[in-house]
Chain A
């Protein structure tokens, strides 16, 4: 029961970061600030949702998979963020 509350509350927070990230992507004025919004959805959105789902895992293997998904997402977000910033700066659209 308490774990269900945890799941819903933390997942709702993660969804909120996705909504905020999308709002930022659509509304922020320049590519670098839009990149800032995307990276929040990447790290915090998926991270919070993964943390929320862990107690619902059927087996310990599933829980380990969820943590592995989180790890892979963190790795790709940390790789892609600076690369996207480099594309934006190289193309001169940081203004």
Chain B
């Protein structure tokens, strides 16, 4: 079963990398942001699957840190002032 779970982790990583096409090509700012958000979520899911496959508790610690911190970049950019307006968000 652990081979199945590892294959699922690989599948999640592959789809996440495919979704990074949006981070490169946009076109909108929000498209790039949601692609980065999906990168963090995909990493959490892949780490959960690795933890289930190998029983490694360290993968759970990594996933926990990512779950706490990965959305901060998106939040920071979303709360930044819009380009060219100069005012508060």
Contact = CB atoms under 8 A, between A and B. Distances in A.
Q: Do the two shown chains form a genuine complex with each other?
A: yes
A72 B64 contact: yes
Given A22-B15, A31-B28, A65-B64, A11 B34 contact: no
A49 B75 contact: no
B37 A42 contact: yes
Given A65-B64, A84-B30, A91-B28, A18 B78 contact: no
Which of A26, A76, A88 lies at the interface centre, i.e. has the most chain B CB atoms within 10 A of its CB?
A76
Interface string B28-56: 11110111011001101100110110010
Interface residues of B, number: 46
- Interface of B: prevailing SS: helix
Interface string A63-79: 00110110011001101
Interface of B: 1, 4-5, 8, 11-12, 15-16, 18-19, 21-22, 27-31, 33-35, 37-38, 41-42, 44-45, 48-49, 51-52, 55, 57, 60-61, 63-64, 67-68, 70-71, 74-75, 77-79, 82
Interface residues of A, number: 48
